[in-house]
Chain A
Amino acid sequence: MESNQNKPRYGMVIDLDRCNGCGNCTLACAVENNIPPAQPEENERTGITWMRVYKVDNDKPYPENRAVYLPLTCHQCDHHTPCESVCPQKAVEYDTETGIVAQIPVRCLGCRYCMTACPYHARYFNWWDPEWLKGMETTLNPDVSTRMRGVVEKCNFCHGRLQAARAKAAVEGRRAIADSEYIPACAESCPTKAIYFGNLADANSEVSQLAKDKYSFRLLEQLGTEPKVYFRSEQPWVHQKMDTKLSAAAKENAHG
């Protein structure tokens, strides 16, 4: 999947030094995407959190223990997209127009092969039919469909918002949308502005420039999935823990 300069490739850079693990992103994502609240027996394994925040620590004992909070969502893998390549139903498709990996729940038959294939644990299964409190179903977002029991779902960079931005541009006679017109719910809700979102194919965008920064890295780079979500931190221990190129370079320099 080569990047096409005429078509946007949406990506994110998440600043781990700014994330305080508040959980706004998780909640804003759930509100935007009609994700139902937990069933009584639901837990961390079965819960549906398209955007989930993990606490990553430096494995040191108290009081040297340090942590960063890592918001994790679908990384929209660009190359040999693992989930797409295993789906028997063609319910997953890499969208060449935007770079977003589409998960179409109406086509999914629930085999969960994609969940196994995803190296980032970004896919979630509907173990139960969605249930909202009486009256709460009136707060559902009409730009996103609801799903039923037995299908897999995941983040799609709030594609409904992209459609809305495009419709607005179309009514004004434009085909292209401005950067500020399309922002996913998680990035919008972040109180510390730790999530940067934009077009990686545009060399001048903030996201592109941050992605090339020496402090930015991706998770599991060695797998070659070419994820479009980057993380960034200026703390050396984070790079060491994530085994990034920067930490490898530092090790090389240290050993001369």
Chain B
Amino acid sequence: MNITRREILRFVGGSALGLLLTPIPWKALDDSAVWTQNWPWIPEPRRGDISFKLTTCSLCPAACGMRVRCVGNQPVSLSGIQTHPLSQGALCPMGIVAHHLRYHPARVSRPLRIIQKNGSSRSTAMTFDEALDDISFAMKDARVSSQTIAVVDGRPGRTASHLFRQFAAQVPYGRYISYSEVSLDVLGSMFEKPIGPLGYDLDHAQVIVSFGVPLCDCWGTPARTARYLGKKFEGKQKLLQIEAYRSRTSEMADRWIPIRPGTDAAFALGMAHVILKEKLSQAKSKDLSEFESIVSTFSPSVVAEVCGVSEDTIVETARVFSMSKPSVAVIDGLTNSREAQAAVMILNLLVGNVGWKGGVAVRREVPTGLADIKNTESINSNMYSIPDHSIRVMLIDESLSGCQLSDTLLQKKLAENGIVVSLSPFVTERPFCAQYVIPTPVFLESLTDLSSPHDSESSSMSISFPLVPSPTGVVDPIYFIQRLASAAGVVNIESGTMEELVKRRAGVLYGEKRGTVFNASTGQLSGVRNLLSTDDMWNALITGGCWIDSAEIVKSFPAFRLSAFLSKVDINKLQSGKNQLVLVPFIEKTVYSNSEISPLMSKVGQESGLRPFGCRAYLNPTTAEVIGIHEGCRIVLQTNKGSMEAEARYDASIMPGIVGVSNTTHPQNFIALCEMNDNAAICPTPVKIQKV
């Protein structure tokens, strides 16, 4: 039998018919379709038991209660605790995605040494012991050359803060530098006797005069917006927002008063002028005469010219502020000159609201339960009063919210041979020095106590309790300082783990028998006196609860003296580029952290343009047309200090004549462009724009 092509074709023909009579075509097609929908590189959610756990957010002083939804032991989403008395169920955008921080690519799990040479940086991993050796060597060197060893703490009041202070007190030339809400520190420095931790009692104020503070945009606590709106709609609270551009807070405020950027001090002093002239002041201090003479030059007509407002506005604001009681004036500490802050704080002194409900709250220190520190006054400092270039070893605790102090300020205070040791979960490169990064745990991995938000009436304490283990190699700041102390021969540092020490603190608070405790699991608020044991206190605090101190009312107004910041104030210097284009930063700092943020934040930046991000410059359309810039074109921003490329965008809510740039996402380029004020904060900078 010959097998020719014809036979084969017949065979194939039969097979083809047979194929149609088998399940192969439709089954294979069906299954292949399914196969194309299940590509193996598309991640699938893990399976597991769903549970809800409670803890407290540690990203900022607001210490919002958090409800963590977990699959197995893995946190997958975060929401607020509705019954929490301070946070009232609100979270901020960063908080909603805080559970992603563990996976950030900038996460460090081993100590690093970063050396800057000729503009490039080189980082080497090292062991913890090697890092300790290096740092204690530098400390010995500091002792020999009488240079300062400083610990910088942006979240004072914690147990870790107490250990930092113990360390600084026993190290030769040691300094404990803390900053919190700087404007309150400025106010505190004006009193003759040191006055307890201060806060803004915004809940009870009748009138709030805010100088550019983003009160309705997650400053203080995210719940502030809801609290303010509730009172606003009932006519119980008025907010006057004074700032150059129409921010979210200006939109929601009762009244928005646009002033030229950088003229906050002038406006505040203008208000003070009116208050003194019309005898609306409640202040009972002997030393007002010097202040009166300074303020005499800030008459409404002069200030109106400087700020770009009408005289009536200044007079009316001053009257509303001083005649409605209680009232409080606020200004943000980190982005304004200390002159401006002092000017605004004096308004609070003039209406006599310090220590009164609805004004500046005087709170009590929250006891730590740890050994008292002798000579604590000698080591306490703020960064500005440290002599320039004097710090040989600068230890910065960036473990919770990064470092809010600008690089410029740090560089100014660091000695030429100085090193910076940052306690941080992420790599933080400082381009001006040799640096060590000690890896610390991130939110949900670390146990830490948290002290009070800036905008509440009394002190409070919460605990952020870990829900997941931290990677090996990561150390607690307390462990680091204890080990460094022993390596450096410092003897009296509290020993014990973070959990032991914080638990002790909870016990001490229980022993004080004052204040109330909120238990998030039961939703109940009870007086500390009514708790049965320390365990009740501890269990409440580690599950998203909080302890709130009873309010303290100051009986007599504390004596104050004129702030040294204002003795040299000069109306002429307070004018900012009237006839020139001025570069101004958008303060998105409340939403974008000084530490790292989840990549999902792109939803509110890059993917929707809701918040200004990266290199975009926002201009008023009239300004843009005058210069000849259309929306979306690339421009170069040129200042005395440098230049930067950006994409131009129109925004009719911005004052003509200013260019707003966001200070988000590692803005080294942007900061390099700007002039700095005495606070080492960016101040409005004259700028020229050219098309690329």
A162-197 interface code vs B (CB 8 A; 1 in, 0 out): 000000000000000000000001001101110000
Contact with B251, one of A30, A66, A189 (Cβ below 8 angstroms): A66
Is A61 in contact with B652, judged by CB distance below 8 angstroms? Answer: yes
Is B225 in contact with A137, judged by CB distance below 8 angstroms? Answer: no
B572-610 interface code vs A (CB 8 A; 1 in, 0 out): 000000000000000000010000001111111011111
Is A49 in contact with B76, judged by CB distance below 8 angstroms? Answer: no
Is B45 in contact with A23, judged by CB distance below 8 angstroms? Answer: no
Query: Across the interface, which residues of B come within 8 angstroms of A188, CB to CB?
Result: 79
Query: Across the interface, which residues of B come within 8 angstroms of A189, CB to CB?
Result: 79-80, 91, 96
Which of B89, B252, B258 lies at the interface centre, i.e. has the most chain A CB atoms within 10 A of its CB? Answer: B252
Query: Across the interface, which residues of A come within 8 angstroms of B251, CB to CB?
Result: 20, 66-68
Is B655 in contact with A63, judged by CB distance below 8 angstroms? Answer: yes
Is B604 in contact with A142, judged by CB distance below 8 angstroms? Answer: no
Is A49 in contact with B601, judged by CB distance below 8 angstroms? Answer: no
Is B652 in contact with A27, judged by CB distance below 8 angstroms? Answer: no
Task: Give the number of A-B contacts (CB < 8 Å).
Answer: 200
Query: Across the interface, which residues of B come within 8 angstroms of A135, CB to CB?
Result: 102-103
Known: A130-B43, A142-B71. A49 touches B607 (CB 8 A): yes
Known: A34-B45, A63-B655, A188-B79. A21 touches B610 (CB 8 A): yes
Q: In this assembly, does A252 line the interface, its C-beta being within 8 Å of a C-beta of chain B?
A: no
Known: A38-B606, A48-B607. A22 touches B217 (CB 8 A): yes
Instruction: For the complex formed, measure the closest distance between the CB of B477 and the CB atoms of chain A, giving whole angstroms.
Output: 23
Q: In this assembly, does A255 line the interface, its C-beta being within 8 Å of a C-beta of chain B?
A: no
| Contact residues, A57-90 vs B (CB, 8 A) | 57, 59-63, 65-69
| Contact residues, B277-328 vs A (CB, 8 A) | none
Contact with B45, one of A47, A59, A142 (Cβ below 8 angstroms): A142
Query: Across the interface, which residues of B come within 8 angstroms of A38, CB to CB?
Result: 599, 602-603, 606-607
Q: In this assembly, does B46 line the interface, its C-beta being within 8 Å of a C-beta of chain A?
A: yes
Give the total of B residues in contact with A, Cβ under 8 Å. 69
- Tell which of B34-42, B131-139, B192-200, B374-382 binds the partner: B34-42
Is B606 in contact with A192, judged by CB distance below 8 angstroms? Answer: no
| Contact residues, B82-100 vs A (CB, 8 A) | 89-93, 96-97, 99-100
Q: In this assembly, does A146 line the interface, its C-beta being within 8 Å of a C-beta of chain B?
A: yes
Q: In this assembly, does A223 line the interface, its C-beta being within 8 Å of a C-beta of chain B?
A: no
Which of B258, B602, B611 lies at the interface centre, i.e. has the most chain A CB atoms within 10 A of its CB? Answer: B602
Query: Across the interface, which residues of A come within 8 angstroms of B45, CB to CB?
Result: 34, 140-146
Is A30 in contact with B603, judged by CB distance below 8 angstroms? Answer: yes
Q: In this assembly, does B75 line the interface, its C-beta being within 8 Å of a C-beta of chain A?
A: yes
Q: In this assembly, does A44 line the interface, its C-beta being within 8 Å of a C-beta of chain B?
A: yes
Instruction: For the complex formed, measure the closest distance between the CB of A189 and the CB atoms of chain B, giving whole angstroms.
Output: 6
Is A142 in contact with B246, judged by CB distance below 8 angstroms? Answer: no
Q: How far is the CA of A22 from the CA of B222 in the complex (A)?
A: 10
Q: In this assembly, does B48 line the interface, its C-beta being within 8 Å of a C-beta of chain A?
A: yes
Q: In this assembly, does A106 line the interface, its C-beta being within 8 Å of a C-beta of chain B?
A: yes
Query: Across the interface, which residues of B come within 8 angstroms of A140, CB to CB?
Result: 43-46, 76
Query: Across the interface, which residues of A come within 8 angstroms of B102, CB to CB?
Result: 135
Is A139 in contact with B229, judged by CB distance below 8 angstroms? Answer: no
Contact with B225, one of A30, A46, A59, A192 (Cβ below 8 angstroms): A192
Is B608 in contact with A191, judged by CB distance below 8 angstroms? Answer: no
Query: Across the interface, which residues of A come within 8 angstroms of B79, CB to CB?
Result: 28, 188-189
Q: In this assembly, does B653 line the interface, its C-beta being within 8 Å of a C-beta of chain A?
A: yes
Known: A23-B610, A31-B96. A192 touches B652 (CB 8 A): no
Q: In this assembly, does A254 line the interface, its C-beta being within 8 Å of a C-beta of chain B?
A: no
Q: How far is the CA of A133 from the CA of B93 in the complex (A)?
A: 19
Contact with B42, one of A31, A43, A146 (Cβ below 8 angstroms): A146
Contact with B44, one of A18, A133, A146, A191 (Cβ below 8 angstroms): A146
Instruction: For the complex formed, measure the closest distance between the CB of A44 and the CB atoms of chain B, giving whole angstroms.
Output: 5
Is A28 in contact with B74, judged by CB distance below 8 angstroms? Answer: no
Query: Across the interface, which residues of A come within 8 angstroms of B80, CB to CB?
Result: 189, 191
Instruction: For the complex formed, measure the closest distance between the CB of A106 and the CB atoms of chain B, giving whole angstroms.
Output: 6
| Contact residues, B1-47 vs A (CB, 8 A) | 37, 39, 41-47
Q: In this assembly, does A24 line the interface, its C-beta being within 8 Å of a C-beta of chain B?
A: yes
Instruction: For the complex formed, measure the closest distance between the CB of B293 and the CB atoms of chain A, giving whole angstroms.
Output: 34
A28-50 interface code vs B (CB 8 A; 1 in, 0 out): 10111011011000111011110
Residue of B nearest to A144 (CB): B45
Sorted nearest first, the 4 A-B pairs with minimum C-beta distance are: A47-B607, A191-B90, A23-B604, A38-B602
Given contacts A53-B604, A53-B610, A192-B229, 11 further A-B contacts (CB under 8 A): A22-B218, A26-B610, A27-B600, A31-B76, A35-B600, A44-B608, A57-B653, A62-B654, A191-B225, A192-B90, A192-B226
Q: List 17 A-B contacts (CB under 8 A).
A: A20-B248, A37-B602, A43-B606, A47-B602, A57-B652, A130-B42, A132-B43, A136-B103, A140-B45, A141-B45, A142-B71, A146-B43, A148-B42, A189-B80, A189-B96, A191-B92, A191-B218
